[in-house]
A and B are shown apart, each in its own frame.
Chain A
Amino acid sequence: MIAVKNLSKSFKKKAALNSVNLQLDAKVYGLLGANGAGKTTLIRCIAGLYASPQGEILYRNEPIHKSKSFHQDLGYLPQAFGMFQELTLYEMMEYICSLKGIAKRKCANEIAKALTSVNLEDRAKDRIKTLSGGMVRRVGIAQAILGNTKVMLLDEPTAGLDPSERARFKNTVSELKKDRLILISTHIVEDVDACCHSVIVIDGGSVLFNGSCEELRNIAKNKVYQINEKDADSIVGEKYILKVCEIEGKIYHRILAKENQDYPSEKPSLEDGYMCLVKRLA
């Protein structure tokens, strides 16, 4: 669906993306990376917001800046979303319909469908400024799906959401994922684990990993150990403490170790696999 070929982007002399190559199909992708890793730059490049990146981005084998169908099929949720604060939710959606070139006679139906899918149909007459932060994020998702979009680029959609809003977001993505390419940029690993088929890990502007969640977990296979605090110094080689927890009054360290240890290894989580990659312990 979308092919990213040797994509590089610099701001002044600072490289934000270095030769990124990706093939994205109709699946849900999680774009994982630390703050400043290049997630937003990559999403903005794919959305066509930068006209001068090096390399190519193709949508159905056509460069995105020449492809009319790409702009019709695109739904984009920026990292910060909250424009037209004084309009009602319905008016804001009407504005986006017009921007996307959706025929006026189809607008009412499209808006109703989009608002229903994010459970905001009863707030259509409320002004944007009266909605909570979580609701505004849902409005952002609703505007992104207007017009039966085929490609959805969601930049940090769960940032600032409380746990129940995040759960609702994951359910929304599950309902929307059929026949769509959804790229979700986040630094919250559990969001990716819950709703993505594939994971792309980006660090320092380069793609470190592109594969399934299972494959990312397997990177940390036989590298995760949960050991008593007292034994922590006995770990051989390079290590990284993932977390410190207390179990039945004893302090345990969950450790990522590059080499095999004399302790039984733990079943790795997606976060273990991700940390293994970014800490170069793979």
Chain B
Amino acid sequence: MRRLYLELKNQRLYFFVPPIILFILVPLTVLATIKNGGGDNFPECATISQLFIPGFAAWWPLFVLKEYLNSPGKELLFVHKYGRDSLVFKMIILWAFYVLFVVIVFIYFIFLFDFVWFLFIAIIIQSLFMVALGYFLALLFQNTFIPLIINFAYSSIFMLALFYSPLSIFEIGSFNSVSSLSKSPVVAIIAFILFYGGYQIEKHLYND
């Protein structure tokens, strides 16, 4: 955990991008939507949350991976095999850490809306998918910039333009029952498949 702490510390100002999105941009945009709509605009707020929150879930993981894939001297991280961490494990820890931040946002949402927990579940699963996608693509392309762009492009295109596409991981609806989470189980399964695929590349990367 000390190494992960130092890896996050190495991000300096970039570390603060997800908290700024989660604690400033999302609440303010949601508040502005409520004010403009003159009432309970939960579906619109759900769209805003799904646009911003999962999109930034892969931010910290990709910046951690950057040292392993792009930094000069990265091979040093692979030499000490007995001390090294599993990257997939780090990705899951970072997702859990992100979820803690998302919990704080949803505590704020409780005061604004009646049914937030189905949206919360959908968003943490979407975040897991985004982390898994970022991890898989970063190892596949040996690059962290491409997955970052793909993640943001995916969130923007499918949340703003192609809502009803079968390729979209995002949910549309009122989020007031379990049936609102129609895509979430499949999204979770795909996330685990991506983690597995990434892990196979990671093993190959460490061993040859």
Whether A87 contacts B9 by the Cβ 8 Å rule is: yes
Where the two chains meet, the residues of B that have a C-beta atom closer than 8 Å to any C-beta of A are: 2-3, 6-7, 9-12, 67, 71-84, 207-208
- C-alpha gap A101/B80 in the complex (Å): 9
A63 within 8 A of B: no
Contact with B along A210-235 (1 / 0, CB 8 A): 00000000000000000000000000
Q: What is the bound-complex CA distance between A142 and B74, given in angstroms?
A: 16
CB distance from B89 to the nearest CB of A (A): 15
Are B3's CB and A99's CB within 8 A? yes
Q: Are A80 and B72 in contact (CB under 8 A)?
A: yes
Q: Which residues of A contact B77 (CB under 8 A)?
A: 83, 99
Q: Are B10 and A85 in contact (CB under 8 A)?
A: yes
How distant is B174 from chain A, measured CB to nearest CB, in Å?
44
In the complex, residue of chain A having the shortest beta-carbon distance to the beta carbon of B1: A98
Interface assignment of A190: CB less than 8 Å from any CB of chain B: no
Cβ contacts under 8 Å, B3 to chain A: 95, 98-99
A74/B72 contact (C-beta < 8 A), A87-B10, A95-B3 known = no
**Interface residue tally for chain A (C-beta within 8 Å):** 32
Is A247 in contact with chain B by the CB < 8 A criterion? Answer: no
B71 touches A83 (CB 8 A): yes
A48 with B79: CB separation less than 8 A: yes
Interface string of A189-215 (1 = CB under 8 A from B): 000000000000000000000000000
If A74-B79, A100-B83 are given as contacts, then 18 extra A-B residue pairs at C-beta distance below 8 Å, sorted by A number, are A47-B75, A71-B81, A71-B83, A74-B80, A76-B76, A78-B73, A80-B73, A82-B73, A83-B73, A84-B7, A84-B67, A86-B11, A87-B6, A95-B3, A98-B83, A99-B83, A140-B73, A143-B76
- Which chain A residues border B208 with CB–CB below 8 Å? 50-52
Instruction: Please name the residue on chain B nearest to A80 by beta carbon.
Output: B72
Enumerate 12 A-B pairs (CB-CB under 8 Å) in ascending A order.
A51-B208, A76-B76, A80-B72, A80-B73, A81-B72, A81-B73, A84-B67, A85-B10, A95-B2, A95-B6, A96-B76, A101-B80
A125 at the interface (CB under 8 A from B): no
The answer, yes or no, to whether A44 is at the interface (CB within 8 Å) is yes
Q: Is A91 an interface residue (CB 8 A)?
A: yes
Q: Do residues A81 and B76 form an inter-chain contact, with CB atoms below 8 A?
A: yes
- Kindly identify which residue among B9, B10, B75, B84 contacts A99, using a CB–CB cutoff of 8 Å: B84
A84 lies within 8 A of B83 (CB) = no
Contact in complex: A83, B72 (CB < 8 Å): yes
Per the 8 Å Cβ criterion, residues 72-118 of A in contact with B are 72, 74, 76, 78, 80-87, 91, 94-96, 98-101, 104
Min CB–CB distance A278 → chain B (angstroms): 27
B75 touches A71 (CB 8 A): no
**What is the bound-complex CA distance between A147 and B67, given in angstroms?**
23
User: Closest CB-CB distance, B12 to chain A, in whole Å?
Assistant: 5
Chain B residues whose C-beta falls within 8 Å of the C-beta of A68 in the assembled complex: 82
- Looking at A44, A47, A95, A140, the one whose CB has the most chain B CB atoms below 10 A away is A95
Residues in B whose Cβ lies below 8 Å from that of A47? 75, 79
Which B residue sits closest to A47, measured CB to CB? B79
Smallest CB–CB gap between B201 and chain A, Å? Answer: 14
When C-beta atoms are compared, the residue in chain A nearest to B84 turns out to be: A99
Identify B6's interface contact among A48, A74, A94, CB under 8 A: A94
Whole-angstrom CA separation of A95 from B2 in the bound complex: 8
A1 in contact (CB, < 8 A): no
Is A241 located at the chain interface by the 8 A CB criterion? no
Quick check: B75 and A44 within 8 Å, CB to CB?
yes
- A residues in contact with B10, CB < 8 Å: 84-87
Taking CB atoms and an 8 Å cut-off, the chain A residues in 51-76 that contact chain B are 51-52, 68, 71-72, 74, 76
A49 contacts the other chain (CB 8 A) = yes
